[in-house]
Every structure is written in structure tokens, then in C-alpha cells.
């Protein structure tokens, strides 16, 4: 059983550019959450998708947007990149409920220069 997968593994972008990160959830999971993790800090919640809709959103600007597809995979888009967007972006999948554990993917390391 494949776990959560993310692509790409690493990415280098220039300030002002746009980026798309991808996530495939663990088999059987219908909910995908995205997190930003800066070095030495805990993951910060960006948003969560369920049934192709954004169900909850953290304290992130509209430059961060996402999408969930019918097969439950998801994309995270970030527009007008800033230097401060450099971080590890983690995707986690779960069943839809606060009573189920989340499984994290390996992350995408984004560097903005």
C-alpha cells in the first residue's frame, strides 16, 4: 500500500514566480491537508480539502490556493512567491474526521531566491 506521495521533492523558484506542488493521498483516504514547515518550527496549517472543496483554512494569504481532484489527489499553488515562502511543504492525508490520524508525505522543499 503506497503511502502519501508528493512531487517534486525539491524546487527552486525566483521571487514573483508561481509554483504548483502535488500530493497523492494514502489509499482509502479522502481528506488532504497542506502544511508549511519552516526550519526548526512545527508545521503550520494552510488548508484542508474534502470532496473537492476547501473545508478549512489557516492564516495564509490568498496567494496560497489549492485544488482537490475526484481521485482525492491535491495541488497547492502559490502565486507571487516571496522569499519568506521558502519552507518544507507537507501534505497529509486522512479519513475525514478529527478522530483519525493524519499520514504525512515526504514533503516538497521549496527555495525562493
Partner 1 sequence: QQPVQSPQAVILREGEDAVINCSSSKALYSVHWYRQKHGEAPVFLMILLKGGEQKGHEKISASFNEKKQQSSLYLTASQLSYSGTYFCGTYSRDNDMRFGAGTRLTVKP
Instruction: Determine which residue in the list 11, 20, 58, 95 makes contact with partner 1, applying CB under 8 A.
Output: 58
Q: Does 101 engage in binding with partner 1 (CB under 8 A)?
A: yes
- 3-class DSSP assignment, residue 75: strand
Instruction: Determine which residue in the list 17, 18, 41, 113 makes contact with partner 1, applying CB under 8 A.
Output: 41
C-alpha cell at 41: 518550527
Instruction: Determine which residue in the list 56, 77, 111, 113 makes contact with partner 1, applying CB under 8 A.
Output: 56
Q: Using CB under 8 A as the criterion, what x/- string covers residues 8-37 for binding partner 1? A: -------------------------x-x--
Nearer to partner 1, 44 or 65 (CB): 44
Report the DSSP pairing between strands 108-112 and 10-13: parallel
CA dihedral of residues 48, 23, 72, 75 (deg, nearest 10): 70
The answer to whether residues 76 and 26 touch, using CB atoms and an 8 Å cutoff, is: no
32 exposed, middle or buried (CB, 10 Å; 0-12, 13-18, 19+)? buried
Give the footprint of partner 1 on this chain (CB under 8 A): 33, 35, 41-45, 48, 55-58, 90, 98-107
Amino acid at each position: 500500500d503506497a503511502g502519501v506521495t508528493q512531487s517534486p521533492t525539491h524546487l527552486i523558484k525566483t521571487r514573483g514566480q508561481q509554483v504548483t506542488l502535488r500530493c497523492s493521498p494514502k489509499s482509502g483516504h479522502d481528506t488532504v491537508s497542506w502544511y508549511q514547515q519552516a526550519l526548526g518550527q512545527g508545521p503550520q496549517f494552510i488548508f484542508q480539502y474534502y470532496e473537492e472543496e476547501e473545508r478549512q483554512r489557516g492564516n495564509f494569504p490568498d496567494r496560497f490556493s489549492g485544488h482537490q481532484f475526484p481521485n482525492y489527489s491535491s495541488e497547492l499553488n502559490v502565486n507571487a512567491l516571496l522569499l519568506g515562502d521558502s519552507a518544507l511543504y507537507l501534505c497529509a492525508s486522512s479519513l475525514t474526521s478529527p478522530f483519525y490520524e493524519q499520514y504525512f508525505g515526504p514533503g516538497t522543499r521549496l527555495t525562493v531566491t
